A = this chain, B = another copy of it.
Amino acid sequence: VAALEVSTLCLLKNQGYKGNCILIYDVEHVTSPDQLSEDEWAQFTRDLYTAVRALKSVCRPDHINVASLGNEIPHLHWHVIPRYKTDPRWGGPIWTIKREKLHHAEMPEKERAELITELRGFLGNQGA
């Protein structure tokens, strides 16, 4: 979607939760928050704040989950997951023990392009 201060916001292919993004730390390869300096961490969490605000503004979810897990992919990133009262796991975490049981939905290309444009519009307005 967009390069922010120290990270890149990517709209996942699986749009089972509309707007589901990851925010990947760009500056160097690290796996854990404590490998960043306090300033780098502040920049990265500022980008997270920007991403949360963009997704709340554009997707209008009922709630939002953010998580840095890195259990499968050992590079520091945030999951930013809009949640909806109508989603199949409302009231609980989206994760399941088996990855293939994760709620999955593809988004039509056109809808995906529109969503990306809207997010870029918001991020542009924020000066990001």
Binding site for B on A (CB under 8 A): 31-34, 38, 41-42, 45-46, 48-49, 52-53, 56, 63-72, 83, 89-93, 95-97, 99
Contacts and interface: CB of A to CB of B under 8 A. Distances in A.
Number of copies: 2
B34 A52 contact: yes
A68 B71 contact: no
Contacts of A38: 46, 49
Contacts of A46: 38, 41-42
Residue among A32, A38, A70 having the largest count of chain B Cβ atoms under 10 Å:
A32
A41 B33 contact: no
Nearest to A36: B49
Contact of A65 (B42, B69, B90, B92): B69
